[in-house]
Chain A
Amino acid sequence: MPRIFSTQSKKFLKQIDKSELELNRFLTDNWSLLFPQYTYISNEFKLEGNVRSKGSSGRIDILAFNPKTKRFVVFELKKDFDRNVNEQASDYRDFIEDNFAEIYLQSAQKYDVSLPKYNEISKDVEVIVLSKYFSQTDIDRAKKRKEIITLIRYFWFENELFLYDYLNNDPDDLIEKENTEKIKKIKSVIEGKPLISETDIFFAKKEESKKLYNLFYDFLASITDVTVTVQDTKIKLETNFGQRFSVIGYSGKTGRKSYLQINTDIDVLGSQKLIFDDRLRPDGTKKGSLGSERYEVFIQNEDQLSELMIFVRNFIQNQN
């Protein structure tokens, strides 16, 4: 439990209890100071009209937009303790996905927020939970999920003092990490060492996988902005046309003799050339996979990769 000692009045400052509504107003009034990285849309955001889908009642405490990741950001405010933050993130993701068009329209028209084009926005959602306490399990899980859930602990003290602490995804840490990466690269250039990227490390000695991955990445980068996130088990490629790909490297010695597995939600069912697995079971659940997307496409050669690129290109054309 944090304590604040005032050296001026020689006493510990008392903690103050304020309602969720007061917290909401405080954040809204001081938005540009507290969360300059996000575009504020509305507090108490509620879907309006008769076009809503089932289960869309309720309000979002604060809805914002992250211009960097092109994702909507849901702020969930809790007066005291919060539980099951991971479940909430998953529910909000579904909520945004189910009502995406309405949320986009309402944000742009009713709240006059300048957003990127409809098809450039990711349907993933970032959830930021503000609460006085979190369980250690929730903190650990949120850390594993990287930027999707951010936990912020806060306290009110007398003298109008507001203390808040990022338990993960602290924006200051991210800046520091970026700077460290830059310094590392500059150092390598000075010392004449070849630059080793995270992608190089991910594929290690799987040269064929790396070659195919680079072809796929160059293809995507030629048609859209691509955000690359290298994780322990996969590389995530996020695009501006609302699709995400999860890429995994193989040595060509697995049952399918593939060098690359690319998970995608783009429908590849009509392909004769591609080797793929549709993860969707008849009951609507998905089979397990390293990536969350529906189809696992197994790439053995450049020919198959070109076929997948055709599907991606067709998908974009159909969107327009």
Chain B
Amino acid sequence: MKQINLSEKDYKRLRRLLRYHEKMYGNEETAWSFQDLVDLQEIGTEIAGILTSYLKTKNAKDLLNSK
């Protein structure tokens, strides 16, 4: 399987976003405010943004098209 190596910077960004997501997400007792939901959505969008840049490369496109 082809492996994708994230840059150190992106890896750290993802790590921070995921940690923050985990913190906000909480557990079954956590009550969210609307602002919390907006923030969770924003984090999701940013995570997608970081990952998308790797899927736009030629290698990734070739790999995905070959399936």
Q: Assuming the A-B contacts A57-B42, A284-B8, A284-B9, are A95 and B16 also in contact, with contact meaning beta carbons closer than 8 angstroms in the complex? A: yes
Counting chain A CB atoms within 10 Å of each CB, the highest count among B9, B10, B45 belongs to B9
Contact A55 B46 (CB under 8 A): yes
Q: Give the chain B neighbours of A87 by CB distance below 8 A.
A: 15
- A194 at the A/B interface (Cβ < 8 Å)? no
Counting chain A CB atoms within 10 Å of each CB, the highest count among B13, B43, B49 belongs to B13
Contact B8 A91 (CB under 8 A): no
Which one of A57, A90, A284 contacts B17 once the chains associate, using CB atoms below 8 Å? A57
Which one of A46, A54, A59 contacts B13 once the chains associate, using CB atoms below 8 Å? A54
Q: Give the chain B neighbours of A158 by CB distance below 8 A.
A: none
The size bracket of the interface on B is 20 to 34
Q: Give the chain A neighbours of B17 by CB distance below 8 A.
A: 55, 57-58
Q: Give the chain A neighbours of B10 by CB distance below 8 A.
A: 54-55
* B:25-65 near A, CB below 8 Å: 39, 42-43, 45-46, 49-50
Contact B19 A57 (CB under 8 A): no
Contact A88 B19 (CB under 8 A): yes
The 9 A-B pairs of least Cβ separation, nearest first, read A55-B13, A58-B20, A91-B16, A57-B42, A57-B43, A57-B46, A94-B12, A91-B12, A55-B17
> Which B residues form the contact surface with A (CB < 8 A)?
7-10, 12-17, 19-20, 24, 39, 42-43, 45-46, 49-50
